[in-house]
Amino acid sequence: STFAVLNGPNLNLLGTREPDLYGAEGLSDIQQRCEQLATELDVTVEFFQSNHEGALVDEIQRRSDNAGIVLNAGAYTHTSVAIRDALAAVQVPFVEVHISNVFAREDFRHRSYLSDIASGVIVGCGIDGYEFALRRLAALVS
C-alpha cells in the first residue's frame, strides 16, 4: 500500500523555525524516520510539502488511490475549506498531525476545518506524531 505524508506552509522551515515549539529536527528527518518505518511496515511512503493552498489541493486530488494520508496542513488547518473539501472528495482516510499542542496556543489554532472528517488527530507529540499516524493508517488497511 502507498501512503502520502503531506506538509503545508512553513513546514519546510522545520529545524530553524521556532525550535521551542517545533523542535530541532527538519522535514528531511521526518522523511527519513517515516521511510524507515515504512520499510518496517512493508508499505510505501511518499512525501510532499508546499506553501501553497492550491498545490496542496492538487496533491490531495492526486492521492485518491492511496491507502491513507498523513497531513500536517500547518496554518491552513485553521482556515482552509478548500483542503477540507479535497479530503472529503477523495475519501482517503487521513490522520491530522500537529507537532505542537495547538490547544495550548492561541485561540485561532483551536479550530480545525479538518478534525471532524479525519480518521484520527495527533497533537503535541512532536515529530513522533508522523510515525504514530503512519502506524495507525497502516493498521487500518491491514
Q: Which residues are catalytic?
A: 22, 98
The residue from 35, 44, 79, 109 that contacts ligand DQA (CB under 6 A) is 109
The residue from 102, 114, 133, 134 that contacts ligand DQA (CB under 6 A) is 102
Q: Quote the CA–CA distance of 121 and 99 in Å, as a whole number.
A: 11
Q: Which is nearer to ligand DQA, 77 or 80 (CB)?
A: 77
Is residue 72 involved in binding ligand DQA (CB under 6 A)?
yes
With CB under 6 A as the contact rule, which of the stretches 32-40, 49-57, 95-103, 133-141 interacts with ligand DQA? 95-103
Name the nearest CA neighbour of 30 among 141, 134, 108.
Answer: 134
- Under DSSP, is residue 93 helix (H, G, I), strand (E, B) or coil? coil
With CB under 6 A as the contact rule, which of the stretches 32-40, 44-52, 72-80, 84-92 interacts with ligand DQA? 72-80
- Environment class of 31 (CB within 10 Å of its CB; exposed 0-12, middle 13-18, buried 19+): middle
Question: What are residue 97's DSSP bridge partners?
Answer: 122
Q: Quote the CA–CA distance of 122 and 96 in Å, as a whole number.
A: 6
Which residues in this chain contact ligand DQA in the complex, by CB under 6 A?
10, 72, 74-75, 77, 98-100, 102, 109
